[in-house]
Amino acid sequence: MQPMLMPLLKEMPSGPAGTRLTERAVHITLFAVACGVYGTVGVFGASIFGTQTESNIMVNDLLPGFRTATLVLYASLLVYLCCGMVTTHYALRASLDLLLVGPDAPFTWTRQIAETLGILSCATTVALLFPTQAEKIFALTGCTAVCLVCYVIPVFIHLAVQRDVQRMQTDECRGAVGTHTVSAATETDAAATRTPDPLREPLLEGTGPDVRAAAAVAACCCSKPAGLLTSESLQARAEDRGSSSRGRPGCSSMRGAVQCVWQSLCRYTLPAAIVVIGVGFSIAGLYVGFLDLMSYLDDGGTEAAGPPPASSASIRA
């Protein structure tokens, strides 16, 4: 899901409508597919087979005694793997193309075919070198690339966005009071008469400088109704927010210090905890996967002796 999200955003309509569609698709994929299907299969599979299965399900005797049903099941798995390869390959090729030539490069079939052949060649080489060790390769890629995609990069983006939003709010609060004039009301009345088009409404921009100024005033004064605030109170609150972001003198009092500490904890501690937990588990998994892969190579490319696959007798028992 994570690699496909960014390429799919380019195909979504712009504005809040596209954001809602993307959010709904992510929720359906996460809760219905990931939690529902994977959770159900994992729980019941572990309860039935236990440790009597290979990590690579393609080398297990899935339906002992039912040769035709086993062939049908393996054919379905092959079709699923082929379809899954197309979606992951698209995301990988889009990222590779962006890294090599940049976002403004024109489309050419030669470059697309070369990138496709390179990706397929690498995947085929790994599959030929480790034909029955897919779980060990997945462990290495999961502990490196997935760790970056799921833990490190999202936290970095979150902190960068929070920093930019705070700087923008501070700048707009300092100049919001002077720009919120009668022209803002005129612009609001004119906008009310127009039919809104949510597909063309930008995500992070207002419809004009006056509207952005009004939003900044509302953000600075959200603790009190706007109708009860005078221009002096607006100016005071804007100046207080601006001075507090520059030198944070508001933290000198006990209440201000507690508030500053709490905001810092909410802003930095939780993202740091997410990174520490994700990277910690990834390092542990990388260590175990690396040892397993080295053991496999030391044995000459043969699987070490382990518990036999599940049989019909063990299933009936």
**35-55 pLDDT tens trace:** 787 788 888 877 887 777 666
Non-local CB neighbours of 178 within 8 Å, separated by 6+ positions? none
Neighbouring C-beta atoms of residue 174, cutoff 10 Å: 19
Q: What is the dihedral of CA 13, 14, 16, 17, to 10 degrees?
A: -10
Task: Kindly state whether residue 272 falls inside one of the protein's structural domains.
Answer: no
Neighbouring C-beta atoms of residue 213, cutoff 10 Å: 22
Of residues 205 and 298, which shows the higher confidence score? 298
Of residues 314 and 113, which shows the higher confidence score? 113
pTM of the predicted protein model: 0.51
| Dihedrals phi, psi of 102, to nearest 5 degrees | 90, 170
Task: Kindly state whether residue 110 falls inside one of the protein's structural domains.
Answer: no
Q: Are 53 and 61 spatial neighbours (Cβ–Cβ below 8 Å)?
A: no
Tally of domains within the chain: 1
Of residues 203 and 168, which shows the higher confidence score? 168
Per-residue confidence band for 118, with pLDDT thresholds at 50, 70 and 90: very high
Q: CA torsion sign, 83 to 117 to 139 to 91? A: negative
Per-residue confidence band for 208, with pLDDT thresholds at 50, 70 and 90: very low
Task: Kindly state whether residue 52 falls inside one of the protein's structural domains.
Answer: no
Q: What mean pLDDT comes out for the span 278-303? A: 81
Of residues 50 and 247, which shows the higher confidence score? 50
Question: Looking at this protein, which amino acid is placed at residue 252?
Answer: S
pLDDT above 90: residue 285: no
Task: Kindly state whether residue 221 falls inside one of the protein's structural domains.
Answer: yes
Task: Kindly state whether residue 230 falls inside one of the protein's structural domains.
Answer: yes
How high is the pLDDT of residue 234?
A: 46
How high is the pLDDT of residue 303?
A: 56
pLDDT above 70: residue 177: no
Report how far residue 177's alpha carbon sits from residue 226's, in angstroms, rounded to the nearest whole number.
12
Task: Kindly state whether residue 189 falls inside one of the protein's structural domains.
Answer: yes
Q: Is 168 helix (H, G, I), strand (E, B) or coil?
A: helix
How high is the pLDDT of residue 117?
A: 94
Averaged confidence pLDDT in the chain: 71
Segment among 90-104, 157-171, 259-273, 295-309 with least mean pLDDT: 295-309
- Where in the sequence is the domain holding 166, given as residue range(s)? 160-249
How high is the pLDDT of residue 217?
A: 43
Per the rule left: phi > 0, alpha: psi between -120 and 50, beta: everything else, 54 is: beta
Task: Kindly state whether residue 164 falls inside one of the protein's structural domains.
Answer: yes
Tokens of 241: 């927010």
Task: Kindly state whether residue 199 falls inside one of the protein's structural domains.
Answer: yes
